[in-house]
A = this chain, B = another copy of it.
Amino acid sequence: MSAVHAAGAELDRSVAAAGTPEAALAHKCLYYMQLMREVEDRIERKLYRQGKVLGGVYVGRGQEAISVGSGLVAIPEDVLFPSHRDMAIFFIRGISSRRVLAQYMGRVGGLTRGRDGNMHMGDMDAKVVSIISALAATVPVAAGAALAMRYQGSNGVAFSYFGDGSTSRGDWHEGVNFASVQKLPVVFICNNNQYAYSTPLNLQMACANVADRGPAYNMPAEIVDGNDVLAVYAATERAVAHARSGKGPYLLECKTFRMTGHSAHDMAHYVPKGLFEEWGKLDPIVRIQQRMLEENWATQAEIDQVHAAVTAEVDDAVAWAEASPFPDPSTLLEDVYESQ
Contacts and interface: CB of A to CB of B under 8 A. Distances in A.
A204 interface: yes
A205 interface: yes
Nearest to A173: B173
Contacts of A177: 168, 205-206
Contact of A212 (B203, B208, B218): B218
Contacts of A170: 169-174
A160 interface: no
A279 interface: no
Interface string A140-174: 00000000000000000000000000001111111
Given A169-B174, A173-B170, A174-B169, A181 B203 contact: yes
Interface in A196-215: 202-208, 212-213, 215
A333 interface: no
Nearest to A208: B218
Contact of A207 (B178, B205, B217): B217
Contacts of A206: 177, 180-181, 183, 217-219, 248
Given A168-B178, A183-B206, A206-B219, 14 more contacts: A168-B174, A168-B177, A170-B172, A177-B205, A180-B205, A180-B206, A181-B204, A181-B206, A206-B218, A207-B216, A207-B217, A213-B216, A215-B216, A216-B216
Interface of A: 168-174, 177-178, 180-181, 183, 202-208, 212-213, 215-219, 248
25 contacts: A168-B174, A168-B178, A169-B170, A170-B170, A170-B171, A170-B172, A170-B174, A173-B173, A173-B174, A177-B206, A180-B205, A180-B206, A181-B202, A181-B203, A181-B205, A183-B206, A205-B218, A206-B218, A206-B219, A206-B248, A207-B215, A207-B217, A212-B215, A213-B216, A215-B215
